[in-house]
Copies of this chain bind each other. A is one copy, B any other.
Amino acid sequence: MSDELLRALDQAGVRLTGPRREIAALIAKRNGHFTAADLIADASKRRLGVGRATIFRLLDLLAEQGLVERVDLPDGRHAYVPCEPSHHHHLVCVSCGAIAEVDDCGIDAVTAEASRRSGFSIESHRLELFGRCPNCRSAN
């Protein structure tokens, strides 16, 4: 539900305005990733009269709070994924768009090794996994 998003926003000290509630509901209604364009389309379909800018602003805000994360799809588009604010990675189903979160399962060893070999100090990383979720695997 959207309650979680709203609660987190409240806690972040920002206003719980009408448009924000509506957009949060739209996000909650999607399961899996979505693009800004998806939300804009949803909003206009329901004639919620929220502006494009407001949607981008809220997405920025949510991303800042770690409630949503930007994901780059294999085709180069930008999508967002609602998620826990802890560090983790995403598994994206290329067939239906469902997502799963995976926490660090050994990636630190990889970055340490890469750092050792290259001499770089590694500050952050981005790992995205693309595949097919259990549903889509069996449906095929």
Contacts and interface: CB of A to CB of B under 8 A. Distances in A.
Interface of A: 70, 72, 74, 76, 78, 89, 91, 93-94, 100, 102, 105-107, 109-111, 113-115, 117-134, 137
8 contacts: A72-B72, A91-B114, A91-B122, A119-B137, A120-B132, A126-B126, A126-B128, A126-B130
A132 B121 contact: yes
Contacts of A117: 102, 105
B107 A120 contact: no
B105 A119 contact: no
Given A78-B76, A119-B134, A134-B119, A102 B124 contact: no
Contacts of A72: 72, 126
Contacts of A94: 123
